[in-house]
Amino acid sequence: MKRIYFDHSATTPVDREVAELMLEYMTDKYGNPSSVHAFGRETRKALEEAREKVAALINAAPNEIFFTSGGTEGDNLALKGVAYANRKKGNHIITTAIEHHAILHTCEYLEKQGFSVTYLPVDENAMIRMEDLKNAITDQTILISVMFANNEVGTIQPIKEIGQLAKEKGIYFHTDAVQAAGNYPIDVKELNIDLLTMSGHKFHASKGIGALYIRRGVRVEEIQHGGGHERNLRAGTENVPGIVGLGKAAEIAKRDMEEKVTYIQGLRDKIITTITEKVPHIKLNGHPESRMPGNVNFSFLYIEGESLLLNLDMKGIAASSGSACTSGSLDPSHVLLAMGLPHEVAHGSLRVTLGRGNTEEEVDYFLGIVPEIVEKLRSMSPLYGSAAQLKPSNPCSSCHHH
């Protein structure tokens, strides 16, 4: 049976070129970058070259890039680091209700430490309202943290406007760009971003490697103590294979960005158009225009997302119902609930996230079987028969009818 991977927001395969380079820095070039001898100098040089490539991906300076173990560590360092270093200035942080748990749980932890956090609501497309953000700012606000693109529904936030507002008010602006970095063009200077989190395994580097961009002059306190690695901000011997891999992946992402975005977006739009035409009682989740090139998220009324996933899996298709980090839990997605979806609608959601390795044939195969699976599951659903016949209007007003 053929296997089709439609879950690129969860993780991506490591690029061959990246893997080969990593292997070289595990076996032949294994020096500790802090060592003064030739072995150490060799890996130190590779480390700094990788830093330049990661910086170039987002138009930052190399000395503004700090290597981490991934998105979660980057988010923790950004939030706690800024909060601790600026607590004399104020104790208020603004974020959103649809952030990844790496942000939400860090904010909850900071609330226990005496910081106060505002969680901005979102509209039905998972977009924050700039008005809400303006109204939330107080003279105690030290940080605004808004994700670049949502991992479940793909909505891209008005990052430039947020950056502009933060700059005018003299407040630091952090964005969790784990979904966007390497998959969507980002220019930290143009967007007025002060801190940005990225993760390698979302754009064909390995798991366990990431970077935090910190604009020069932003005050951040370290949260992991030890030797003076990463300019005293992130102690611990550097993960050299991971870092050189991240550098190579960043170089490839920058080189192929335009082509990749156009290609993946084409596949995405084909899926959205076809499913909208072929399957009744559905709702596209996330913003129709301002969304990630590879993200498709639909709610199928009257069925459970879980059974849809298992049926797709039996046909060789790997998709998800939300974030991989919470897929083990049966609670409906906090993102879909924040968008105002009723529980039963949120439960029937399917997320398909595409990558550069996906083909038109795979998409066509998927589009051939989804309507059948949905029809089969609905025929077994006690909700469907009565609901579909009794009331043509769906429980959520923004659903498509055919």
Cα gap 122→23, rounded to integer Å: 44
Q: Is 393 annotated among the ligand-binding residues?
A: no
Structure tokens at 246: 């991240």
Which residue's structure tokens are 């990225």?
Answer: 198
The C-alpha atoms of residue 85 and residue 92 are separated, in whole angstroms, by: 13
3-state SS assignment for residue 288: coil
Q: 237 among the known binding-site residues?
A: yes
Answer for the pair 342, 29: CB distance below 8 angstroms, yes or no: no
- Per the annotation, does 72 bind a ligand? yes
The sign of the torsion formed by the CA atoms of 132, 134, 135, 138 equals positive
To the question of whether residue 151 is assigned a binding role by annotation, the answer is yes
Q: Is 204 annotated as a binding residue?
A: no
192 is annotated as contributing to ligand binding: no
Residue 200 is assigned to a ligand binding site: yes
- Establish whether 400 is an annotated binding residue: no
Residue type, 397: S
Residue 175: CB atoms within 10 Å: 28
Residue of 282, 287, 308 lying closest to 376 (CA atoms): 308
353-391 CB burial, b ≥16 within 10 A, e <16: bbbbebeeebbebbbeebeebbeebbeebeebeebbeee
325 is catalytic: yes
d(CA 185, CA 199): 15
Residues tagged in the binding site annotation for [2Fe-2S] cluster = 325
Which are the catalytic amino acids? 325
Residues tagged in the binding site annotation for pyridoxal 5'-phosphate = 71-72, 151, 179, 199-201, 237
Residues tagged in the binding site annotation = 71-72, 151, 179, 199-201, 237, 325
